[in-house]
Structure 1
Amino acid sequence: MARADLTLLDEAYAALRAVVAGLGEDDAWAPTGCAGWAVRDLVWHLHADAVRGLVAAHTPAPGPADRDAVSYWRAWGSDPDADERNRRLTRVEAGLHPFAALRERYLEASAAAARAVGALPPEQVVATQGHTLRAADLASTLAVEATLHHLDLIAHLDGAAAPPAPGTAEARRVVEALLGEELPGWTDERVALVGTGRAAPTAEERARLSDVRLPVFS
């Protein structure tokens, strides 16, 4: 299972790179599934995600890990003010560069991050964002974020390829674990979109979720 998680990251990043590599300046101003962000803003954020993975892969830490692939997300979004500042800062930083430069920096960093994380022993403990995780769990967090942002990126891009099925399946696994229940009859993508606030639940879906607070993370 751990080695499969490392493979999952490579697949998720490769698919996302393929979409980003085909984007041009006109595409850069298209809206995305992230409120307030155009494609260029999201690509800059994706670069930051890849850098996080690259830094974590080279930051070994003593065990045991204090987070896993699910618990890592529990505190996500707990500081709305900080999240809003980050959204604004991302737009400002992205605006400082031509899109071609944003694209190439992301492609370079994501390829390096995938290689670095994929080379780690799955049980290696690393540090990231104030926590420690096994390499396999780090790979899952990066793959889930890449998968969700892949969906964000293609939300308004006609003909763009969807993320690989294993990535949406992993996003579903994490969302259902945080919800504490399974959602039979829902597609993996629907669980991921509704569970992370990217789509509003229908009345029927809301009734199925009962009093669960959404999103479980965003």
Structure 2
Amino acid sequence: MREAEALRAAYDGVTAVLSPLSPMELLAPTRCHGWTVADVVHHLTEDARRALVALATPADGPATRTFVTYWSPGPAPAPDWESAERAAAASAWAARRAASVAREPGLLVELWRSTSAAAVHAALDARHAFVATQGHVLTVPDLLTTLATEAVIHHLDLLLGLPATPEPAVATLDGLLARHGGVRPPDWDVEDYLLKGAGRLALSTTDRTALGATAGLFPLLG
């Protein structure tokens, strides 16, 4: 299945970044504000665990979400920057506490390596048409695309430079914009698109002019 191979490539890309890092390098900050590398590793491992549960949880169709609408819980409330900052800080703090259960940071990488490999194996062996996850029903290909998208975005959090397989994340952002009649500004390269779509880079005045009404949708991924 093409989506399973995309997930394998996305997870292998993360593993390749993490494997040479020392324990102290795993405590370095990332593009995900307030998160260390170890925090991101723990978060991705939990996502791979969710994949294992979802792939073992067949559901009756039809799907209630696609790989695009999975990221769209509903209309966003009016912006409250103080509340948003507090929520982001609380999320980073929760990630730090969760990751700290490991005796040392290197063990998180070993757990990621084994869990992500198991998730890929389950994806390649998937036999169900629909699965349940987080209160939604998705087709297996759409589930795998959401997982690959998350891995691509967090791969970017970990390093400078573009992951080898950004296509699932790009397709997701394209779909989210298209739902509201928007398109990517032509002068954005893929890396800019991913970083701005995930809220890692702020939109400039020029960006907001190019996006028009769809600028209010950013960041497209929470």
Query: What is the TM-score when the length of structure 2 is the normalising length?
Result: 0.85
Once residues 45 and 75 of structure 2 are traced to their aligned partners in structure 1, the CA distance between those partners, rounded to angstroms, is: 20
- CA contact 1:12–1:147 (8 Å) conserved in 2: yes
**Is 1:106–2:108 an aligned residue pair?**
no
Q: Tell me which of 206, 209, 212 is aligned to 1:207.
A: 209
- CA contact 1:172–1:189 (8 Å) conserved in 2: no
Q: What's the offset of the Cα at 1:76?
A: 8.2
Aligned length: 208
Aligned pairs (5 A) from 1:58-73: 58-73=56-71
Q: Tell me which of 138, 145, 154 is aligned to 1:149.
A: 154
Aligned amino acid, residue 204 of structure 2: T
Once residues 166 and 74 of structure 2 are traced to their aligned partners in structure 1, the CA distance between those partners, rounded to angstroms, is: 19
Aligned pairs (5 A) from 1:62-141: 62-75=60-73, 85-97=90-102, 98-121=104-127, 124-141=129-146
Q: Give 3-state SS (helix, strand or coil) of 1:132's partner.
A: strand
Q: Give 3-state SS (helix, strand or coil) of 2:163's partner.
A: coil
Q: Give 3-state SS (helix, strand or coil) of 1:199's partner.
A: coil
Higher alpha-carbon deviation: 84-93 or 74-83: 74-83
- Alignment CA distance shift 1:7-1:68 (3 Å): same
- CA contact 1:21–1:107 (8 Å) conserved in 2: no
Aligned amino acid, residue 21 of structure 1: S
- CA contact 2:35–2:96 (8 Å) conserved in 1: yes
Q: Give 3-state SS (helix, strand or coil) of 1:210's partner.
A: helix
Q: What's the offset of the Cα at 1:169?
A: 2.5
Once residues 77 and 149 of structure 1 are traced to their aligned partners in structure 2, the CA distance between those partners, rounded to angstroms, is: 25
Q: Give 3-state SS (helix, strand or coil) of 1:204's partner.
A: helix
Identical positions, percent? 37
Aligned pairs (5 A) from 1:3-82: 3-75=1-73
- The runs of 5 or more residues in structure 2 that have no matched partner are 78-83
Provide, for residues 78-127 of structure 1, a one-character-per-residue CA deviation record: whole Å limited to 9, x for no partner. Answer: 69687764432221121232111111111110110011012214x61011
Query: What is the TM-score when the length of structure 1 is the normalising length?
Result: 0.87
Aligned amino acid, residue 58 of structure 2: P
> For residue 182 of structure 1, what is the aligned residue in structure 2?
183
Question: C-alpha root-mean-square deviation of aligned residues, in Å?
Answer: 2.2
- CA contact 1:77–1:83 (8 Å) conserved in 2: no
